[in-house]
Amino acid sequence: MALRPVRMAKVGLLGLKEDEERILTVLHDLRVAQVEPLSPDAMAELGPERGPETLRQVGDETLRFRGLLSALPAGHAGPPRRFDSIAEILAAAKTVPIDSEVGELKREDDRLATDEKATAGQAQLLERLSFYPDRLEFLDARSFHAFYGESTPEDYTTFASALSAEHDVQLLVGPPGESVRFLVLLPPGGVDTLSRLSQTRGVHLSAVPRLSGTVAEELAALRTRAAEVAQRRGEIAARLIAISQEWYPLVSAVAEALEIENRKAEVVTKLGASRAAFALEAWVPERDIARLEAVVERESGNRTFFYRVPTSEEPPTLMSNPRGVRRFEFFVRFYSLPQSTEWDPTLVFAIAFPIFFGFMLSDWGYGLVILLISLWMIAGFPAARYLPKFGRNFVKMIMGPKGMQQLAYALLPGCAIAIGLGLYSNEFFGYPLLTVLFHYAGPSLDKSVPTYLLFAGFVGLGMVVLGFVMGALKEYFHHHPRGVVAKSGGVLFAFGVAFFGLAVIHRATSVSADPLIVVWYACLAVGLAMLLFGEGLQMGLMGLIEVVSHILSYTRLVGILLASAILALVINTIGGGLVLGGTVVGIVAGLVIIVIGQSFNVIIGVFEPGIQGARLIFVEYFSKFYTGNGKVFRPFGSPRTHTVSPLEAPGALPAGPIVRTPGE
């Protein structure tokens, strides 16, 4: 379990120009080094690296193969290919002769697609214009313009009266129906007025196409044209598939190799070089330095000098958590990425958040519904097209698909806890279902509130104390002794406040009633003194208020639990009473109240425990030690799919963790 980001170090590398390409391949394929611009001290001894003469050719070929990949249907790539040098890649690129044919086919297909769309639009318009009996060429004249319109009967009435008052127009109305279809003929000078009226009256207008035959004749011609276009597009698609089957394996491999060389070219601009040597600097995880050095020395024949660069810069951050805990990195990144030299709070978040969420929900009916919704989100929202459009847009407005999936994974353990606590407390959508089925009563909610409040208070004490402990350790590692004193004082004061509060509740504030009261008085006094010494008078007094408020803030766990349970009880009481009343209207109204009310409570059951659970961690826990604003570690490199690394040989790439980059 990682409580801190991966420790980073800045390293430098000095090598011969003839080994530069191979060393960059090592850096790319190991994916453990974030290459940085060379430091001014090193650059003073060298000049900027210009890169090989082949970079322009690589750029041109990259654009060419991107175009080929976008035009060719994806096919079977075959076994990955190996290219040992840029020269081999460029030579392989020259053996691909399909540019001219693929380009011509793609351009023709684009023209046909535009034609197909225009034909379909004209055909749809003519179908709506079927009430016009004469030839369409009669509507194509210089003295007037013709437009097809459609609107509701109410909008048409106001539109027609307003238009006829402005200009000498002719209106031909189609057969009656749910909407009014009509033709408008008017002089050229009235077009602006017509456009303004159509927008203000809710009328949709389209220019009548310039055709010569009747509607039926032109529809038949358009359908024939559409069939011809579809047939030709099918022939083009078949030919592109045939080309892809023959050439896609090579095209995809060369394209990937060229993209890798382009990434190397971007890195080259950060290097320094002389006529015979080059130098680079990079951030590398401590755990990977020995591995990187071993591979670099082997691939360069021990002709490379590998060294550490002393620096006071803030390193980039690479979080390293187990797979289950890694799901909660989403929340930490959403708040702020930790700095490389501070604590990674993901593990504590992964433990605390599901407990808070499940406790605030504590209903196995709601927990089961949210669990099923979470599984649906993880599966990618199958059949979401059947949902109302408003619901789909609302979900997209809140978060993207990737974020929704990460959120769903994080809710799974919380739902499991909610189901377990709900079974224990006999809460099923606020109804004691287990009593009806198995005669299990469960604990009474009103009698459990004091116990729940005590639990919430101790949870608050534990989280606040843990935050102060983490803060004290951070201050110690950063050599801030007064900060250590202040955070340690916060721990003592938190214990003093909590247990003195319990003593007050039990009316045991004297030594005779409770001998331990001396300890709590001492914790309050010593903690107060340490806070004031470490933070100063103003900040120390604010810290005292913060300790008390943050511990009490955790009682919202009980507040949200009670609010959800009481709302469910109200819904069931009102809706159930109407259903049991026996009248048809009462039964329908009761069912509507139950369904809508419980659905609303499910939504609240996602947002309130989720938001408040995260807030308790972000504010009451993070504030004791967390700085954030870390820089993401972005190692140079990318995964290979269609190519094999030229370093692929026994022992060439020793086993080790591949660095995960955000979104990978």
- The pLDDT tens digits for 62-115 are 999 999 999 999 888 889 999 988 899 999 999 999 999 999 999 999 999 999
The pair of structure tokens assigned to 409 is: 């994974």
Residue 332 has which token pair? 């930490």
Over residues 43-52, the pLDDT tens digits come to 877 887 777 7
* Pairwise CA distance, residues 403 & 334, whole Å: 10
Interatomic CA distance for residues 464 and 659, integer angstroms? 33
Residue 519 lies in a domain: yes
Where a domain ends, among 512, 527, 554? 554
Which range (99-103, 291-295, 502-506) has the least confidence? 502-506
Q: In the prediction, which pLDDT does 394 show?
A: 58
Contact yes or no for 42/272 (Cβ under 8 A): yes
509 is in which domain, residue-wise?
A: 450-554
In sequence order, which ranges of 31-98 are alpha helices (DSSP H)? 40-45, 55-71, 86-94
Last residue of a domain, one of 196, 224, 252: 224
Determine, yes or no, domain membership for 454: yes
The CATH number that applies at residue 214 is: 3.30.70.2750
Rounded Cα distance between 593 and 579, Å, is 10
Question: Taking 80 as the threshold, does the pLDDT of residue 131 lie above it?
Answer: yes
pLDDT at 27 over 50: yes
Confidence at residue 650, expressed as pLDDT on a 0 to 100 scale:
44
Considering only CA atoms, which of 292, 287, 274 is closest in space to residue 637?
Answer: 292
The rounded mean pLDDT for the chain is 87
- Least confident range from 222-231, 353-362, 367-376, 379-388: namely 379-388
CA–CA distances in Å: residue 471 to residues 334, 466, 477, 482, 530: 21, 8, 10, 12, 14
d(CA 280, CA 297): 15
What's residue 50's pLDDT? 76
Query: At residue 307, what are phi and psi to the nearest 5 degrees?
Result: -145, 160
CB–CB of 18/289 below 8 Å?
no
Tell me, yes or no, whether 330 lies in a domain: no
Please tell me the predicted confidence (pLDDT) of residue 115: 94
pLDDT in tens, 193-202: 788 888 888 8
Does residue 571 form part of some domain? no
658 within a domain of the structure (yes/no): no
Residue 131 located in a structural domain: yes
Q: 439 lies in a domain?
A: no
Answer yes or no: is 172 within a domain: yes
Write b or e for each residue in 311-336: b if 16 or more Cβ atoms lie within 10 A of its Cβ, otherwise e. Answer: eeeebbbbbbbeeebbbbbbbbbeee
pLDDT at 542: 82
Give the pLDDT score at 312. Answer: 87
**From the CB of residue 362, how many other CB atoms can be counted at a distance below 10 Å?**
29
Predicted TM-score (pTM) of the model is: 0.77
* Residues of the chain above pLDDT 90, percent: 43
Distance, CA of 150 to CA of 127 (rounded, Å)? 13
pLDDT given for residue 651 in this prediction: 44
In 3D space, the residue among 24, 215, 246 whose CA is nearest the CA of residue 122 turns out to be: 215
What digits encode the pLDDT tens for the residues 7-18? 999 999 999 988
Domain stops at, among 496, 527, 554: 554
pLDDT > 80? residue 658? no
Q: 520: helix, coil or strand?
A: helix
C-alpha distances in Å from residue 277, one per residue of 18, 24, 264, 272, 362:
8, 14, 17, 9, 66
**Count of domains observed in the chain:** 2
Which residues are CB-neighbours of 482 under 8 A, at least 6 positions away? 533, 534
Please give the backbone phi and psi of residue 524, each rounded to the nearest 5 degrees, phi first: -65, -45
Q: Is the pLDDT reported for residue 521 higher than 60? A: yes
Whether residue 645 contacts residue 651, with contact meaning beta carbons closer than 8 Å, is answered with no
